[in-house]
Structure 1
Amino acid sequence: MPPSSASDAPAEILLPPGDGPLRAAVAGWTDALARERRMSANTVEAYDRDLRQFLVHLESRRGAPTIAMLIDLKVRDIRAFMAARRADDISGRSLMRMLAGLRSFGRHLEREGHGAISALGGVRSPKVPRRLPRPLPVNAAVALTDVGIRAGEDREPWIFARDAAVLALLYGAGLRISEALGLRRADAPLPGVDQVTVLGKGGKERMVPVLPVVAEAVSAYLAACPFPLPPEGPLFVGARGGPLSPRIIQYAVARLRGALGLPDEATPHALRHSFATHLLARQGELRAIQELLGHASLSTTQLYTQVDAARLMSAYEAAHPRARLRA
């Protein structure tokens, strides 16, 4: 489960005084999340932060927490923590993530032979409506990948070519921004190459087809890039030749939003949503789209059917003669 914004919690929460075994268990758990389960650094950080908040909450109510205290928790103790966080205006989605993190830590304690935190099984996860993806219109998505749209900016041309290549991979191949920026120079999809291997969530690799127009955008960037790019190094680099930060691409899209008059929902990730929605609108097969996006569950991909149904109904309401009569 992905983490929500870190703005709902302090940047750093220190573990309250407790026994050494508990501190060791927390350290072992976060290490296992990263190394064995291959969770992203952001997810590990969010889970760790949630657990620390819980332990601080326990300290305020019952004194310095220990593993034995956690094993003896009652359902009311977990509910009290959730209620306290809800009182701080924490969203249901964040509460769901917090409970998932606590359960993960509870399973870790059980695997390590400390016993089960049975109280966690008696707490229901809050119901959270799944947010629908917000794709862009086709013309807006295409415009975001156009180098010429930024001609008036005072930047070096190769940077425009770089950003356009990254955005072309997001919209033309449905990559996550982390997947696009994680590509090595040796993996660059160039003209004549019709697929690329990307490393997705959970360290899972998948093959993604590459359109000629996307390969041409990558080729144009490589021709313009002033830095030598070692085969095993990153394909996309920053202004000084180091690895490119996702934030730079987010800033580029923010500037493009202003130039094109697009809403705040026009983000790099919206291009991935647009890739899926536009494929579905052109009779793309849902299972194939799931594979292209690297979704572990088909239910995640099925959200796009709701977006497409809403788009069709909007078109019906706008164009059908009887719909206009009702209005």
Structure 2
Amino acid sequence: MRHRRRSSHASSPWPGSPRLRARPGPTDYRWCAGSPGIFPASSPAPRYPPAGIFPAPRRTPPYIYTEEEIERLLEATLSWGLAKGINRQTYQCLFGLLAATGMRLGEAIGLARADVDLEAGILTLREAKGGKDRLVPLHPTTTKALADYAARRDDYRICRKSGWFFVLRGEQRLRPQYAERVFMGVTRRIGLRDSGPHSRGPRLHDFRHSFAVSTLLRWYREGEDVECLLPTFTTYLGHSKVRDTYWYLSPCPELMNEAASRLEARWGTGHDGRRDPGSAHRAFLHPAPHAAT
């Protein structure tokens, strides 16, 4: 006797996918693409996960260097590792460039010789974050420091063959992990980091945070129109949105106070004519939802 095979498609809510749904329980939940939540098949009302069920993203608090700490770090770098060769000068120049320009580590290491125009004092960053090129103008003192390094580097005949601006002994290309390793050792030596193998302390990327904070703080103190300058500064840092640059306000209380005072002077009066002392502070309580890089 032939049994007609029962088609499972008839009971499937998704045509063509008979086994997609498991056996229903007390409440049959369905997921609808593009819907605002997960809801029972018998009810159109959306249901959302309880608040706090997913942990909030955590950001590593940035370390803001003082000028004295940067000077000590650069000085200590010149006595780190082998004295023979160009390595010490390469790492010192690299760390100094990061501190003076706020560039990302990968952007600085990726500089080719042709990207460094010492005549005009301009760096060309090619395919930086977001796949975009950008120009970074240099302060004259930074240009001179790069020129001094380039002359010292080319004293070594083998280094002249490299197409990269930053090179190591034996024409070896500088890699991010090499720079991180030296930085960790130097910061331990000068006391900015504990001596343990998994110690926490300042990062190379914190040079970028420190540069942004010091620049914004100087503008506020000099009475510059920061709101007008901020879009240009955003482009300089390579941020895609101005709000990413505003995130640098959060780790520095001194900078927050300067910004708050400026905002209170402009928006500190309510509709009833009375001053609202908390209005400016609230404007900075919610910076960009993700850390700027």
Query: Structure 1 230/158 Cα, relative in aligned 2: closer, same or farther at 3 Å?
Result: closer
Q: Distance in 1 between matches of 2:93 and 2:35?
A: 46
Q: In structure 1, the residue corresponding to 2:167 is in which secondary structure?
A: coil
Q: Distance in 2 between matches of 1:242 and 1:166?
A: 15
Q: In structure 2, the residue corresponding to 1:273 is in which secondary structure?
A: helix
Q: What is the CA deviation profile of residues 240-294 of structure 1, one whole-angstrom value per residue up to 9, with x for unaligned ones?
A: 3132111111122112212321134322111111111111110164333211210
Highest CA radius of gyration, 1 or 2?
2
Query: Structure 1 73/253 Cα, relative in aligned 2: closer, same or farther at 3 Å?
Result: farther
Structure 2 residue 116 is the aligned partner of structure 1 residue 188: yes
Matches within 5 A, 1:140-179: 140-146=69-75, 149-151=77-79, 153-156=81-84, 158-179=86-107
Matches within 5 A, 1:237-256: 237-256=167-186
Query: Structure 1 73/240 Cα, relative in aligned 2: closer, same or farther at 3 Å?
Result: farther
Structure 2 residue 125 is the aligned partner of structure 1 residue 198: yes
Aligned partner of 1:138 in structure 2 is 67
Q: In structure 2, the residue corresponding to 1:139 is in which secondary structure?
A: helix
Amino acid at match of 2:72: A
Tell whether the 8 Å contact from 2:89 to 2:149 is kept in structure 1 after alignment: yes
Q: What is the CA deviation profile of residues 121-144 of structure 1, one whole-angstrom value per residue up to 9, with x for unaligned ones?
A: 748886425554322122212333
Matches within 5 A, 1:84-123: 118=33, 122=37
Q: Distance in 2 between matches of 1:300 and 1:210?
A: 22
Q: In structure 2, the residue corresponding to 1:145 is in which secondary structure?
A: helix
Q: Distance in 1 between matches of 2:213 and 2:181?
A: 24
Tell whether the 8 Å contact from 1:183 to 1:234 is kept in structure 2 after alignment: yes
Query: Structure 1 286/144 Cα, relative in aligned 2: closer, same or farther at 3 Å?
Result: farther
Query: Structure 1 274/214 Cα, relative in aligned 2: closer, same or farther at 3 Å?
Result: same
Q: TM-score when scaled to structure 2?
A: 0.58
Q: Distance in 1 between matches of 2:182 and 2:35?
A: 44
Tell whether the 8 Å contact from 2:249 to 2:255 is kept in structure 1 after alignment: no
How many residues are matched?
Answer: 200
- Percent identity for Structure 1 against Structure 2: 25
Q: Distance in 2 between matches of 1:309 and 1:206?
A: 31
Aligned partner of 1:280 in structure 2 is 216
Q: Which runs of 5+ in 1 are unaligned?
A: 1-67, 75-116, 314-327
Aligned partner of 1:108 in structure 2 is none
Q: What is the CA deviation profile of residues 80-127 of structure 1, one whole-angstrom value per residue up to 9, with x for unaligned ones?
A: xxxxxxxxxxxxxxxxxxxxxxxxxxxxxxxxxxxxx92797488864
Tell whether the 8 Å contact from 1:171 to 1:272 is kept in structure 2 after alignment: yes
Q: In structure 2, the residue corresponding to 1:268 is in which secondary structure?
A: coil
Amino acid at match of 1:279: T
Q: In structure 1, the residue corresponding to 2:65 is in which secondary structure?
A: coil
Aligned mate of 2:204, from 250, 253, 268: 268
1:175 deviates by 0.8
Q: Distance in 1 between matches of 2:96 and 2:232?
A: 20
Q: What is the CA deviation profile of residues 4-45 of structure 1, one whole-angstrom value per residue up to 9, with x for unaligned ones?
A: xxxxxxxxxxxxxxxxxxxxxxxxxxxxxxxxxxxxxxxxxx
Structure whose residues are more often helix by fraction:
1
Structure 2 residue 240 is the aligned partner of structure 1 residue 296: yes
Query: Structure 1 156/219 Cα, relative in aligned 2: closer, same or farther at 3 Å?
Result: farther
Q: In structure 2, the residue corresponding to 1:282 is in which secondary structure?
A: helix
Aligned partner of 2:287 in structure 1 is none
Q: In structure 1, the residue corresponding to 2:124 is in which secondary structure?
A: strand
Tell whether the 8 Å contact from 2:250 to 2:256 is kept in structure 1 after alignment: no
Q: Which runs of 5+ in 2 are unaligned?
A: 1-15, 23-31, 39-48, 194-199, 220-225, 258-293
1:154 deviates by 3.4
